[in-house]
Structure 1
C-alpha cells in the first residue's frame, strides 16, 4: 500500500507573487518532484514581517492570525524565503504570549514551517536534482535563512548536482547585502555602502550568476549590479534547481 503524499501549503511571499512568480512555480515543481502534494491557499497574504520590523504590533498580529488560519490544516508550510520562514517559525509564537490558544496554534504552525531548500534536503532527503546549467555561480547566504533557520549547506548540496554548474564562493558569502526589508528604506546610505561591498565580493568571485534563497536580497543586489554596469545575472536558487531559467534574470526587464 502506497504511503500518502504529505500535503504542503506553499507560502508564496509578497515579493514572489508580485515581482517573480516563476520562483513560486519552480518551488511547486521541486516539491512535487520530491513527492509532495502542493496547494497554494487563497487566504494567504503577507507574513507581517514589514509591520513587525516597523513596530506595528497590531497589524502584525492580524496578519499572523490570517496566516495561521490559512496554513494550520497542512502537514507542512514551505516558503521559498528565509526571512518569511523565520518570521513564521521564530517570531509568530512570541506575538501571542498573553493569548494561550493563539500561542499554541502559532507554535504548532512554527513546528512544521520550513524554508524550501532546507525542507527538500532535511525533511524529504533530496540528494540531488536533474537540472543542467553551464555557468559559474556564486551563492549569497541571506541573513535570516542562515542565522535564524540554519540554511547553509543545503543549497550548496543540491547545486553541486546541477550538471555544468561551477560554484565560485565569495570571500564573505555570509555578510549582509544591505537589504534588510525596511532597513534599506530607513537607512539608504548605509544600505548602499553595504551592497557596494557585496557587489565587489561578487565580482571578485569570477561568477557570472548570483544565486540566493531570498528574493528581497536578490533584487537589492541585482539592482546594484545593474547600476554598476555588471553583466552578472541574479536568480533564485529554486529557479536553477528546477531547471527553470528561461525567464529574464532578476532585475532585467521583460521584452
Structure 2
C-alpha cells in the first residue's frame, strides 16, 4: 500500500520526530510511505480565522499534491478534520457562489482517503497490536477534533492497550478541552491557561509518567502548562509511543 504522509505545519516546524515516528511505525507494518515535498499548510488557521476565500487555493494545492496516493495519513486530528469536514464545505460554498464546481471536483477524490493515524491503523490496516514496547504509566487525552470532529472513539485506547509494558490509566475529565483551540488561546489567554491548568492537574492525579495525545498542537499547550506548573510529567505524541520498540526505544 502506497501512503503519503501529510506532516502538517506544526509538526514540520516544531515536532519533526513525530513524522519520523509515523514513518518507522508504518514501515514496520509493511507500508510504503512517501513524503511529497510540495505539501504545504492545509489552511486550517486561515479558515478558522475567517479567511475562507484565501483557504481555497491551499485546499486545491493539497488535492493536487496528494491525489495520486492510495491514502493520506496525518498525525493530527485537527488537520485531518480540516480536510474531511471543512474541505467539502469550501467546495460547496464555491459552487453556491457561482464560481463553478472545479474546487469541489478537485477535492472530492482526496477527502475520503485522508486519515488520522489511528484511523489508518485500525480501520484501513486492521491492526491494533503494532509491536510497540513502552514501559511507562500513561494517561490519554482525547483532543477535541479527534473526539468530536473525527469520532476516533476507542481507536487510540485500543492501540495503547496493546503496547507491551504500557500501563494505561484513565484521565479524569478526559473529554474536557485542554484550552488550546488555535487562536482561542491567543484571544482568550486567561481562560485558555485556566483550562490547561485543570487538564494538567487532572493528569497529575493519575500518577502517570506521560500524558499522550494524537495532536501536537494540544500537547504543545499542555506541555507548556506542565513546565509552568513544574510537574514531573511529559507530553508525548501517540505515534512516538507506537513507534517505540525494545530495539529502538523512544527517547
Matched, 1:216 2:245: no
In structure 2, distance between residues paired with 1:57 and 1:15: 20
Indicate if the aligned counterparts of 1:9 and 1:77 stay in contact, CA closer than 8 A.
yes
Indicate if the aligned counterparts of 1:239 and 1:245 stay in contact, CA closer than 8 A.
no
1:202-213 matches, within 5 Å, as 202-213=203-214
Indicate if the aligned counterparts of 1:135 and 1:166 stay in contact, CA closer than 8 A.
yes
List per-residue Cα deviations over 1:148-168 (Å, max 9, x = no partner).
111121111111121111011
SS at match of 1:162: coil
Gaps of 5+ in 1: 1-5, 248-255
SS at match of 1:167: strand
- Single out whichever of 143-152 and 30-39 deviates more from structure 2: 30-39
SS at match of 1:211: strand
The equivalent of 2:36 in structure 1 is 41
In structure 2, distance between residues paired with 1:246 and 1:55: 39
Residue in structure 2 matching 1:90, options 77, 85, 92: 85
The equivalent of 1:252 in structure 2 is none
1:19-34 matches, within 5 Å, as 19-34=14-29
Indicate if the aligned counterparts of 2:56 and 2:90 stay in contact, CA closer than 8 A.
yes
In structure 1, distance between residues paired with 2:47 and 2:37: 22
In structure 2, distance between residues paired with 1:28 and 1:152: 24
In structure 2, distance between residues paired with 1:35 and 1:204: 39
Matched, 1:54 2:53: no
Pairwise CA RMSD: 1.2
The equivalent of 2:5 in structure 1 is 10
Runs of 4+ in 1 over 3 A off after TM superposition: 244-247
Q: TM-score, normalised by structure 1?
A: 0.91
The offset of 1:245, in angstroms, is 5.5
The equivalent of 2:228 in structure 1 is 227
The equivalent of 1:150 in structure 2 is 151
Gaps of 5+ in 2: none
